[in-house]
Amino acid sequence: MSENKAKFTTQLGVIAATVGSAVGLGNVWRFPAEAQANGGAAFLLVYVLCVFILGIPVMMAEFSLGRAGNSDAIGVFKNLKASRWWYAVGGTAILASYAILCFYMVVTGWTLEYLWQSISGTLYEPVTTAMPEGVGLNPQTLQFTQRMHEFIEVGMHPLINTYIVILINVAVLIIGVQKGIERLANILMPLLFLILLAFCGVAMTLPEAKEGLSYFLKPDFSAITPTVCINALGQSFFSLSLGMGILVTYASYYKSDTRLGRTALTVSLLDMLVAVMMGVIIFPAVVSFGLTGEALEGTTLVFVTLPEVFAQLPGTRFWSALFFLLLFVAALTSTISIAEVSVAFVTDRFGMSRIKSTLLVLTPLFALSSLCAKSSIVFATLDSVATNILLPLVSIGICIYVGWFAPKGMLKAEITNNGNIKGRILPVIRLIIRYVAPVLIALVMISGLIG
């Protein structure tokens, strides 16, 4: 721990960088997919509950731990003189973040491919090669499905784009926290909100907007099963960047007057807003274009459904390019935050220069991400193990540490900025961190695993 450790310079920078980490493919790509696969509105309902009851308090626990410990995911425990057992929690967090990084780089690469193809217009040109089987799909959906296969599965495209993403990460990470991450996030995240808002408006004009919205917004309570709950919990934690040591690491760059409670609330609400906006865009489109079968296979939703929407608009290529540019940036700020966990760890722990540790962390990804790009089984396994098992486990560990074992008064001091602000919510947050979160997360996890 050094005196002049880098800090975010402004409060806006804190929010923008943390939102930059939270808002990413998890909201735009993973959320609609999960909602689709888990019953629409039923999933949304559990997801929102998870964010409020568990997500926000766990986020405050991570912030407190990070700022008080002022180090990386393992170093914080060391600085707070925790017993060595706790290092395992930090270690698991780093492991989870690295597993997620492997496939996240690949999907970020897809967004880059879609950006190129929107600019060149290839995405919207008719397909001349053989069409895939797709009973009952309209020709346009078939075309976009075919394009998607070309762009994300065939040949070198997915690999090259993934490598470009890794290289950009290397560059930004070497430049460092303030210049690299903060500046990028400040400019581009607000733009993403605006364009999503515009697309929500467009989605409302689609012929079957009502039916789509009611699938997404009117819950069928009987659809809530243990599997839906674990998926919603996993999604909410993934989306808020919890359980990976990211917020611990980022909070160590927060200044002492940053309000942790307010930051957690703002970040979570903005993150949820983006996810909900995506649902409002995607589901009217799904119903209006009569998507079924393969086009509905969750993970591809964004890459087939949205181009269909863009094709309806005047200025198709412009909107498409703009959207995929912003999605790419949103994804990039998230990859950078995920990689930062490991980079911060290696830098702090082995006293390496930022350049060396960045290279050490990111070079293996050329191989590991290639594996994810080429094998959907490796991809899906890493995703579900990290998201549905490791993230909840780490979150339980962090709650137990912060709630029961951390130095006395740490939570209070962090939430109230050493008594400078009132901590009216402190008792509730403490109750949740100590009892509610560990028990509830464990229950959901267990029932999801056996159910």
Does position 249 interact with ligand PHE (CB under 6 A)? The reply is no
Does position 279 interact with ligand PHE (CB under 6 A)? The reply is no
Does position 303 interact with ligand PHE (CB under 6 A)? The reply is no
241 vs 416, which CB is nearer to ligand PHE?
241
109 vs 423, which CB is nearer to ligand PHE?
109
Residue of 18, 21, 71, 342 that binds ligand PHE (CB under 6 A): 21
> What DSSP designation does 127 have?
P
Residue of 14, 16, 17, 25 that binds ligand PHE (CB under 6 A): 25
Does position 100 interact with ligand PHE (CB under 6 A)? The reply is yes
Residue of 337, 347, 369, 416 that binds ligand PHE (CB under 6 A): 337
Residue of 38, 64, 241, 347 that binds ligand PHE (CB under 6 A): 241
Q: Which amino acid is at 74?
A: I
Residue of 24, 55, 212, 234 that binds ligand PHE (CB under 6 A): 24
Q: How far is residue 199's CA from residue 196's CA, in Å, rounded to a whole number?
A: 5
| Residue from 15, 63, 422, 90 nearest 256 by CA | 63
Residue of 305, 334, 357, 416 that binds ligand PHE (CB under 6 A): 334
Smallest gap from Cβ 204 to ligand PHE, in A, equals: 25
Residues 127-166 contacting ligand PHE, CB under 6 A:
none
Helix (H) or strand (E) holding 128: none
Q: How far is residue 408's CA from residue 333's CA, in Å, rounded to a whole number?
A: 35
Q: Residue 445, exposed/middle/buried by CB under 10 A (0-12, 13-18, 19+)?
A: buried
247 vs 322, which CB is nearer to ligand PHE?
247
**By the 8 A CB rule, do 140 and 296 touch?**
no
**By the 8 A CB rule, do 252 and 62 touch?**
no
Stretch that binds ligand PHE, among 12-20, 65-73, 224-232, 331-339 (CB under 6 A): 331-339
Q: Give the SS3 label for residue 81.
A: coil
Question: How many residues belong to the chain?
Answer: 451
Cβ partners under 8 Å of residue 408, min gap 6: none
Residue of 203, 244, 285, 394 that binds ligand PHE (CB under 6 A): 244
Q: Which amino acid is at 254?
A: Y
Does position 26 interact with ligand PHE (CB under 6 A)? The reply is yes
Q: How far is residue 315's CA from residue 46's CA, in Å, rounded to a whole number?
A: 38
Binding residues (CB under 6 A) for ligand PHE: these are 21-22, 24-27, 100, 238-239, 241, 244, 246, 334, 337-338
